[in-house]
Structure 1
Amino acid sequence: MDVRECASDGAGWVVVVPVKGGDGAKSRLRDLVPDPAERRRLADALAGDTLEAVRSARSVARVVVVTDGVDLTGTTGLDMVPDPGGGLVAAVRAGVRAGTAADGGVPVGVLLGDLPALRPSDLDDVLTAARDLDRSFVPDAAGTGTTLLAARAAGLLRPRFGPGSAAAHRAAGHVDLDRVPPSVRQDVDTPDDLAAAAVLGLGPRTRAFLASHAAPPP
């Protein structure tokens, strides 16, 4: 479904953002940032930029962050939920339960926390399109992963995050949202991903991290 075909905003979304912290965060960026503690700071910056964009989106009513210790100093308006352990899907389910406990009928999105080029208006466009569907998702830039999973209500969500999640979500009945703005698709796992995000325009925290390390995006 083409997000540009949808004209009206669908307000009131709960967006759950699982964020992995700790020294193991963003291990595939070790060639760019060898020190685990500094990679953790980079992961914090990626998450902070993502969450600031989500919080600023007009269609988002509540942002639920599920984390095991990421530093989000300076980012306000978030509901924090401890990561229960057991992997990404378990974290997603914990966030959805917390975010929809009062009303399981609100639309719910699950967004990965490493989209440092995300623009609030782009997220609004995608959520507007998703509001017309029971279940939908956005494949990542590579086409194999998932950056956004959405459902009209919490009970309709079918999280299948992990390797090959795009195909898994498709098989579970989530509809591809095609022609999505690139800022919603460009997650960051590798130096090449970071370079691609930089072309789109990085958020201030990620830019500041790279500047402090005198290491421009590759």
Structure 2
Amino acid sequence: MTSGSAAARWVVVVPVKVATAGKTRLSGVLDDRVRAALVRAMALDTVDAALAASRVGHVLVVTADPELRAAAGRFGVVDEPGLGGEGPRAPAASPDSGRAASAVSPLDAAVLAGVAAARSRVPGAAVAMLLGDLPALRPDDLDAALDLAAAVPLGYVADAEGTGTTMLTAARGETPQPRFGAGSAAAHGSVGHVPLAVPGSSSLRRDVDLPADLEEIARLELGVRTAALLARLRG
């Protein structure tokens, strides 16, 4: 893991699928090789922004992707549950989640594994679970959201459309209740996470799932890897 400033308080957990299996809804506009490269580029740009945020002390990436693991000198890595390796494992469902193990999605399981690993390394840490598809993320936007999150036990940031979730937060001693997937913003609200008043213009709300999202982020200031990849595609 990589340390931030002396004022840092949060551990950021970034779950990332194996790149070849990620962002399948972009398959219609990107071939498999480019899509995998984009997944890795966005994830590393997201990690770089998190590492540069003053409110972040450590970053853990939850993944089984070999290239992301090879880049792990700047951050910690936890093996993604169910995809091999000997990294820490979280329980399939938290004691308060009310869900059977079979109801926990792979992404939620990866988030829980990351939280368990974060708190084994930094006991009692406040944890922010940040999705790895935020290539335009600015450190100051992340800091502002974490300041808001510090005032509530459990929080979340909705995506630009207001239906998905880009970040989930759990203060010290609190157990997150991840419900990522379609309609996750409403799902997180239903289990006690409070919507954080992050403005619609925040880069924290600009994730990439659909071809139209690629057009939207092209208008923004992107991380260096994603910007270079999109520039090559346009060229």
Matches within 5 A, 1:93-172: 93-153=112-172, 155-172=174-191
Distance (Å, rounded) in 2 between the aligned partners of 1:214 and 1:138: 31
What is the DSSP-based 3-state SS (H/G/I as helix, E as strand, rest coil) of the residue aligned with 1:156? Answer: coil
RMSD of aligned residue pairs (Cα, Å): 1.9
Residues 31 and 165 (structure 1 numbering): CA distance in 2 closer, same or farther, change over 3 Å? same
Residue of structure 2 equivalent to 1:88: 107
Residue of structure 1 equivalent to 2:18: 21
Distance (Å, rounded) in 1 between the aligned partners of 2:8 and 2:116: 20
- What is the total number of aligned residue pairs between the two structures? 206
Whether the 8 Å CA contact 1:46–1:116 is kept in 2: the answer is yes
Distance (Å, rounded) in 1 between the aligned partners of 2:136 and 2:127: 22
Shift of 1:167: 0.5
Choose from 190, 198, 201 the match for 2:210: 190
2:56 counterpart of 1:60: yes
Choose from 12, 23, 46 the match for 1:50: 46
2:91 counterpart of 1:77: no
What is the DSSP-based 3-state SS (H/G/I as helix, E as strand, rest coil) of the residue aligned with 2:180? Answer: coil
| Cα displacement string for residues 4-28 of structure 1 (whole angstroms, at most 9, x for unaligned residues) | xxxxx97310010001124221111
- Sequence identity, in percent? 47
The farther-off stretch of 188-197 and 177-186 is 177-186
**What residue identity is the alignment partner of 2:133?**
D
| Cα displacement string for residues 78-117 of structure 1 (whole angstroms, at most 9, x for unaligned residues) | 1001101361000001111111114442211000000000
Residues 154 and 64 (structure 1 numbering): CA distance in 2 closer, same or farther, change over 3 Å? farther
TM normalised by structure 2 equals 0.82
Whether the 8 Å CA contact 2:19–2:39 is kept in 1: the answer is no
2:32 counterpart of 1:36: yes
TM normalised by structure 1 equals 0.88
Shift of 1:132: 1.0
Distance (Å, rounded) in 2 between the aligned partners of 1:146 and 1:28: 17
Whether the 8 Å CA contact 1:42–1:206 is kept in 2: the answer is yes
Whether the 8 Å CA contact 2:7–2:54 is kept in 1: the answer is no
Unaligned runs of 5+ in 1: 1-8
Distance (Å, rounded) in 2 between the aligned partners of 1:176 and 1:26: 25
